[in-house]
Every structure is written in structure tokens, then in C-alpha cells.
Amino acid sequence: MAVWRLIDSGAFDAAYNMALDEAIAISVRNGEVPPTLRLYGWEVPSVSLGSFQKIADIDSQYCINNNIPIVRRPTGGRGILHGDELTYSFSAKNEGDFSDGLLETYRKLSLAFQSALHQMGLNVAMKMERESGTNLTRNPLCFKSTSYGEISLDGRKLIGSAQKRWNDGFLQQGSIPYSIDYEKITSVFKTSTPILQYSKQEIIGLKELIADFDQEKFKECIKLTFEKAFNVTLVCSHPSPHEQELAHLLSSQKYRNPEWTQGTARNSRFCNNSEILRKAL
């Protein structure tokens, strides 16, 4: 039976969280470590933007005034206000269970999370249809639309996920809210209707759905369902010294760089920098 890594790293700041996810993905792609599931949190409420999302989708001045860090993810998708939640990342090579491309990878990973939520008592559903471009929402908030492979309950998405793919592997990142700060989300994300207020009829967290929600029980459910779904053993681990060194470099050179965050520099420049770092360390 194959052995994968499970890294429950705790909370870090926004830039380092993104940098560590990318560093782990690089290490996995290099064949230095096996596929890795990372679970983590955020030191303070923070906004993450999709890699190609316009920063105009959020109220940057509100974030500055309220000490809400803004970071741009390596993965795509729309914006997320991270706070009281479980965030995950998963990195693997494009082989074995993950040799069939983007949609099939989404589906397989979603099945594991769906099983975990079932074990927590939620009768969630996974979307199996693809939306056409004309049907996709233009709302800047990730949790306002449900795409193929994503999990929802009564029309409300419970996990927001996105991928970054390379020729030799991929990184998938996802957010699983425990509770929602509806007022803050409404202030951060701009909409075509300024008076629109996000509410629990549209977005909801697990603590609002599950009485006496237990975070550790939920994480154990995720571990067990991943092991069953992929016929592997997940071994609790820590980022390697090499991954930590690379994460610090990526944090300082990329994820704390205003040009990357604002989207004013070509993404290819930062991708190339990451490849140079990947080969140099």
C-alpha cells in the first residue's frame, strides 16, 4: 500500500501559506516526496485572489483599513475571505489516480471530501455538470457559484477549490468555512448590486450546520476517507527543510511582491522564477 504525507501545519500568514503550498507542490513534482495533503489555517482573516482574478473585484482600501492581508493564489478561481475555516492543499504528479486530467482529478478528490462530510452527518451533493460560459456567475466571490466536482448542500457550496496544473503535476487548494462573517464578506467583495448583502441563505459554514462541531473529528474523517478513496496510508509529517527554505524564498520574492498581488506583472515572470528556484535548491 502506497504511503502519502499528511501535513497538519497549523496557521500561518497569508503569503507564507501560499508559498508553502507551492513549495510542497514543487517537491512532489521533483519526486522528492510522495503526494501530500496539507491542512492549515490563517493567523488573521485574509483575502486570497485567484491567480488571474482582477484585484478590482475586492475593496482593497477596506482591506487596508481593517488590516486584512491580500494575497494572490497560485491556483485559479475567484476570491475567498479566509478566517474560521479549514484550508487544504493537495499536490501530486500527473500519474496513477491523477493521470486523466483536470476534471477527473477534481472528481476523485471531491469524492473523498464528500465522504468526509457524509460521515459528519451532512447529505451533501457533488455537481457533475459543467457550466457554459454564459451561465457562469460574474460574482467575484468563490462561494457564490458551484462548478463541476464541487460540493454543496441545498444549493450552498461548502468547499471552494481550484487547481494549478503543470506538465508533470498539479496543486489543488480548497477552503472549507466553519463560520461566515457575512458583514465582512459583503464589505470585501464588490458586486453589481451595491446594496446586496451576503447571507446564510447563500453561504454557510459547518458550525452552522453541525451541532457541537468538532474540528479534530472532521480532520480525522478527511484522513480516513482519503485513505479509503485512494487505497493509501496517510502518514503525519512536517514540511522538509528543503520545502521550508523554498517556501521562505517564494514568500519573499513572489507572494509578498506587490506586482504579483496587484496582478500588474506578467504571471509568466513569476512562474519562471518559481522554476528557477525549483531547480536551484
| 280 pLDDT above the threshold of 50 | no
- Residues known to be catalytic: 142
The band of 194, judged by pLDDT with boundaries at 50, 70 and 90, is: very low
Task: Inform me whether the pLDDT recorded for 270 exceeds 70.
Answer: no
The mean pLDDT value of the chain amounts to 88
Whole-model pTM: value is 0.89
* Closest by CA position to 275, among listed 164, 153, 144: 164
More confident residue, 208 or 202: 208
State how far the Cα of 54 lies from the Cα of 76, in Å rounded to an integer.
11
Grade residue 181 by pLDDT with cuts at 50, 70 and 90: very high
Strands (E), the chain: 2-12, 36-42, 46-49, 70-72, 80-82, 85-93, 125-126, 151-153, 156-157, 160-165, 169-177, 232-236
Q: 216 and 120 in contact (C-beta within 8 Å)? A: no
Total tally of structural domains belonging to the chain: 1
Confidence of residue 190 (pLDDT cuts 50, 70, 90): confident
Q: Which three cell numbers stand for residue 201?
A: 441563505
Helix/strand/coil percent split, the chain, to 5: 40, 25, 35
Domain range for 37 is: 2-280
Q: What is the CATH number of the domain that holds 79?
A: 3.30.930.10
Give me the pLDDT at residue 126, please: 85
Within 8 A by CB and 6+ apart from 168, the residues are 29, 93, 94
Those residues whose C-beta lies under 8 Å from the C-beta of residue 132, and which sit 6 or more positions away, are none
Answer for the pair 274, 22: CB distance below 8 angstroms, yes or no.
yes
Q: What is the pLDDT of residues 107-150, one digit of tens each?
A: 999 999 999 999 999 999 887 665 554 444 456 655 555 556 67
Looking at the chain, how many residues does it have? 281
- Residue corresponding to grid cell 457562469: 136
